[in-house]
Structure 1
Amino acid sequence: MIRQKKKGNDMLHRLTLLKPQELRVDMERFNGEKAYAVYSSFSVGDEASKYQLQVTGYSGNAGDSLDYNNNMMFSTPDQDNDRWSSGTCTTTFRSAWWFNSCTYTNPNGEYTDSEKTDHKYVTWYNWKNSVISLKSIQLMIRPRA
């Protein structure tokens, strides 16, 4: 029997397939200010769907930076699945993500040790309507109650 190594998105798909999940995103700026976003429904499709994101039901104080990415396929440098016709979002944002054309959040972006303003950094645009780099961001899922 040949065992295939599972990718992170395969595991997310399995977790979100077994039971309905919610997503919570906690973030902090370099000045200590904190915010959060909760999505009452979060799931990731299978490999055939290119790990399509399903995320709805926003609440919180950070602004909804994920709605723009809803229904998008996962993009990596070698799998460009975004809708941007002028280039690739993975190159511009220096990360892999569920890019549309491109995104309002970049949790997989480049980490910096101080506040900077650029799309390539870890950002959540709708919190301050700016691409201010974040000190930290956590994306956590759990079964819906």
Structure 2
Amino acid sequence: MSRMAMFLRNHQRGHQLLLLCPEKTWRSHDVAMKANMGSCPSVINCLISLVSATWCLTFYCSTVLGARNCKELLHQGVVMSGWYTIYPDGMAPLQVLCDMDTDGGGWIVFQRRYDGSVDFYLGWDSYRRGFGSRLTEFWLGNDNLSHLTSTGTWDLRVDLKDFNNTAYYAKYSAFRIAPASDNYRLTIGAFLGGNAGDSLSYNNGMAFSTKDRDNDQWSSNCATNWPGAWWFNDCFIADLNGVYRLQQNSNPIGVLWATASTSSINYSFKISEMKIRPE
């Protein structure tokens, strides 16, 4: 195969311009195409034109690399839920779990709990950075949440399942997390409905608290008395980062959302997901 000089330039968000030019010549267009495909692994479409004057193949590669969030991925034709890399404005590339199935899809999942395999009774720095993994339960990280929600307007959706696999949800407008300088303070807008009821408005405007950073409105530390981390007020009627229970439980220490129509306001849920999507 002839040696080629390769020039890769950003054409615009989500597109790349790739020029492959032989130092002398090439055997066939097929050789050049194979060389290009190794350099554009996320190609959706490539429009190919032969620039005969310079003997270059020009590839306009439409990729998903420029998507800023899961909703943009959905609009680009990505319809399967799973882990993807997004490119939010002003942030490094970020791997996120995209829920493309629930309520029209396009959701970034930032909290997931389903089996108690990950300890959520952690400190400030762990919640700041995020913890868990794509194979386990996880928290995406308060820094990431703050950066993501700093521009635009975002909806929040909470999805829950009890130990009978009955599903509940709650939805809010205008979700935003403040930066670390304001202790990742929670702001939400209107409760948009859902059979889980509204257990979060009580925490609206509250700073985030952990076992080693007490920012709540109580004289003691909510995060140590009800082990977890949350936007505690004095203290809460929801705490989805509380202690995970392996079976149905009505202990007030648990994965709680008190307004859901379960057998007890202290019912600890089996599955919890929190997710955001641009409005």
> Normalized against structure 1, the TM-score is what?
0.91
Structure 1 residues not aligned, in runs of 5+: 1-5
- Deviation of 1:119 (Å): 2.3
Q: Tell me: higher relative CO, structure 1 or 2? Use CA pairs within 8 A at least 6 residues apart.
A: 1
Larger strand proportion of the pair: 2
Segments of 4+ moved more than 2 angstroms: none
For 2:137, the equivalent position in structure 1 comes to none
For 1:3, the equivalent position in structure 2 comes to none
Flag the structure with larger Rg: 2
- Deviation of 1:47 (Å): 1.0
For 2:190, the equivalent position in structure 1 comes to 57
Q: Identity percentage over the alignment?
A: 41
For 1:38, the equivalent position in structure 2 comes to 171
Structure 2 residues not aligned, in runs of 5+: 1-127, 130-140
For 1:131, the equivalent position in structure 2 comes to 266
> Does the 8 Å CA contact 1:106/1:121 hold for their aligned counterparts?
yes
- Deviation of 1:18 (Å): 2.2
Give the total of aligned pairs: 138
Instruction: Report the RMSD for the aligned CA atoms in angstroms.
Output: 1.2
Counting only pairs closer than 5 Å after superposition, residues 12-27 of structure 1 correspond to structure 2 as 12-27=145-160
For 2:277, the equivalent position in structure 1 comes to 142
For 2:83, the equivalent position in structure 1 comes to none
Rounded to whole Å, the distance in 1 between the matches of 2:142 and 2:154 is 15
- Deviation of 1:20 (Å): 1.1
Rounded to whole Å, the distance in 2 between the matches of 1:57 and 1:76 is 26
Rounded to whole Å, the distance in 1 between the matches of 2:202 and 2:223 is 16
> Does the 8 Å CA contact 1:92/1:119 hold for their aligned counterparts?
no
Rounded to whole Å, the distance in 1 between the matches of 2:189 and 2:180 is 21
Q: Which amino acid aligns with 1:141?
A: I
For 1:78, the equivalent position in structure 2 comes to 212
